Amino acid sequence: MAKKEKKLKKKKDKKEGYFKQVRKEMKQVVFPNKKTILKYTLATIIMVALMILFFEAISLILSWIKGMF
């Protein structure tokens, strides 16, 4: 019985140690502020819009070429 209790205690200690490490790491995380989030959001939207325009242009060009033959 003592071995089983030691194993359970060891598992519990490992879990507690893991969560302590997670808490410690989360304290080091620096979350972005509103200005940074807005900047990256706008950059993403602009990039997606440019990609849409690029692929639409390719699609139109290929459709035009296909229509010629």
- pLDDT tens readout for residues 12-69: 667 778 888 999 999 999 999 999 999 999 999 999 999 999 999 999 999 999 988 7
The pTM for the full model equals 0.58
* Count of residues making up the chain: 69
First to last CA, the chain: 85
Domain ranges in the chain are 1-29, 31-69
